[in-house]
Each structure stands twice: as structure tokens, then as C-alpha cells.
């Protein structure tokens, strides 16, 4: 898959997302806009954490134009499979669209969460979490989706989540807690 121009618009509130039940069974489709209105509608999503060869984690600052959590720091890539898309196709598409990358991913776990962002709407997602490794020099991020990127060590991410929780997207807290146990089972930084 080729990556789009670094300023290309790659998502829309009109795209149809996959509605699921608590067991992740497809139960229908609705627009991204309606899935995030009010308290939200449970839909399928994914989060990707990219690491470099030193074990640092790539974080992205969500673009100022995002409806939910604009300007907040989040994991490397997060999005949704669209109607008719497998998770493999969706993650590959989004890695190319947001970071100009093609990466082999390892599935880690799924979890469900609900987070409200004031009057702007909510995330109510059954999220698949993935892990991949990448060369830091290969990234060219899409400025319609991302304002900034940076690499942090696991210890730096722990500190940031502890000291500046309000600067980070809510799913980052939940995912990192579980992923960190997998990456650093002995508690090492």
C-alpha cells in the first residue's frame, strides 16, 4: 500500500464503522459521526504501539482538528476498521495513511472501554491492540491526523502517565498498563 501525501485527508465522519456486541460479534454498521455522538455506540477499533530497536515507544499528538481528544498524546496509531474491512487491512491502511509505514504487527489483546469527552462525544470501543517494530527514520506523519510524534522509553511513558495524565488520551493509559506488563514482565524500566 502506498502512503498518501503527508497532508492528505484520510478520514471522514461519514465512513461506516463496524458495530459490535460485548463478545465482538458484528451487529451492524453506522457512521463514525454517530458512533461517537453522545455516549457513543460500541464499535470495533484498534490501537498500534510501535517500538524501535531500543524499546522506545512512538507516541503521536492528535491533530488539532480532531473531534475527540485533539492535541492529546496517544499511542502510535489508533483508528477503526471500516465496513467490509478486515483488521489486517485496516491496520495496514492506517499505518500507511498516518505514518507512511508498512509494518508487521503482532496481535496482543482486546479490551472494551468507554470515555466521554465533555459535550463533544465519546469513545465506546472494543479495541484490538497490536505491537510492531520500526526504524525511527522511516516515519513521515500525516499532518491532517497528527501534530507531532516523539519516541519515549517505557520509564518516560510511565512517568508521563503518572505526572501528566491529563495530557494523554484515556485509551493510552488503559492499553499501556496491560502492554507494559507484557513488554517488561519483571518491572524493569
* Active site amino acids: 78, 125
**Distance of alpha carbon 155 from alpha carbon 44, whole angstroms:** 30
- Angle in degrees, 0-180, between the axes of helices 154-163 and 170-183, rounded to the nearest 10: 140
Could you tell me which of 129, 125, 105, 103 has the C-alpha nearest to residue 181? 129
Q: Report how far residue 98's alpha carbon sits from residue 62's, in angstroms, rounded to the nearest whole number.
A: 11
Question: What one-character-per-residue DSSP string does 110-124 give?
Answer: EEEEEEE-TTS-EEE
The alpha carbon torsion through 153, 71, 144, 115 (nearest 10 deg) reads: 90
Instruction: Please give the grid coordinates belonging to residue 106.
Output: 503482532
Is the distance from CB of 74 to CB of 99 less than 8 angstroms? Answer: no
Strands 146-152 and 122-133, bridge-based pairing: unpaired
Amino acid at each position: 500500500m502506498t502512503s498518501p501525501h503527508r497532508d492528505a485527508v484520510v478520514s471522514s465522519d461519514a465512513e461506516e464503522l463496524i458495530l459490535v456486541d460485548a463478545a465482538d460479534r458484528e451487529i451492524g454498521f453506522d457512521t463514525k459521526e454517530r458512533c461517537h455522538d453522545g455516549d457513543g455506540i460500541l464499535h470495533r477499533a484498534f490501537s498500534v504501539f510501535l517500538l524501535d530497536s531500543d524499546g522506545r515507544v512512538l507516541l503521536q499528538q492528535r491533530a488539532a482538528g480532531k473531534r475527540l481528544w485533539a492535541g492529546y498524546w496517544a499511542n502510535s496509531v489508533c483508528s477503526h476498521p471500516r465496513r467490509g474491512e478486515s483488521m489486517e487491512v485496516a491496520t495496514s491502511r492506517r499505518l500507511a495513511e498516518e505514518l507512511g509505514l508498512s509494518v508487521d504487527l503482532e496481535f496482543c489483546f482486546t479490551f472494551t472501554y468507554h470515555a466521554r469527552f465533555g459535550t463533544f462525544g465519546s469513545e465506546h470501543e472494543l479495541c484490538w491492540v497490536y505491537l510492531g517494530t520500526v526504524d525511527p527514520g522511516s516515519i513521515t506523519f500525516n499532518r491532517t491526523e497528527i501534530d507531532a510524534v516523539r519516541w519515549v522509553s517505557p520509564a518516560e511513558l510511565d512517568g508521563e502517565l503518572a505526572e501528566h495524565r491529563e495530557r494523554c488520551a484515556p485509551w493510552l493509559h488503559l492499553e499501556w498498563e496491560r502492554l507494559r506488563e507484557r513488554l517488561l514482565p519483571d518491572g524493569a524500566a
